[in-house]
Amino acid sequence: MPIRIEQATRIEPAGNKPKQIDEYIGRVNSQTEAVSIAQMNSPSGWTEPGQRPEFDEFTIVLKGMLRVEYEGGEMEIHAGQAVIASKGEWVRYSSPSEEGAEYIAVCLPAFSPSLVHRDSE
């Protein structure tokens, strides 16, 4: 039988400014360890510590622009574009543009603070 997800759970974010993370599917909201799916809203000027996660992350930008830094460079992902960050790869996300960013993040396996391995600030 399919499982209805009535609503998301707001997750505490990392970073220099308040960001909204609404997890629909994942370890917190649906007790799903295989995958997490969350809607993110980050304000202008938001940045988080770099990380080297133990999961693949698939991100689709719905509005605004998300900057993705990686070893060797950086790229800007605009509304209508997507990016894949592979497990074990160092990345840092930010939303430097005036409009911030709204995006969907899918992590395989599901996001967990113990699997993200953030840089010390």
Pair of tokens at residue 108: 């395989």
CATH number of 36-112: 2.60.120.10
Q: How many CB atoms lie within 10 A of CB 29?
A: 20
pLDDT digits (tens, 9 = 90+) for 14-58: 899 999 999 999 999 999 999 999 999 999 999 999 999 999 999
Q: Where are the domains of the chain?
A: 36-112
pLDDT greater than 80 at residue 121: no
- Amino acid at the residue 80: G
Amino acid at position 62, single letter? L
User: What pLDDT band is residue 118 in, cutting at 50, 70 and 90?
Assistant: very high
pTM for the full model? 0.94
Percent of the chain with pLDDT over 90: 96
Tens of pLDDT, residue by residue over 59-104, are 999 999 999 999 999 999 999 999 999 999 999 999 999 999 999 9
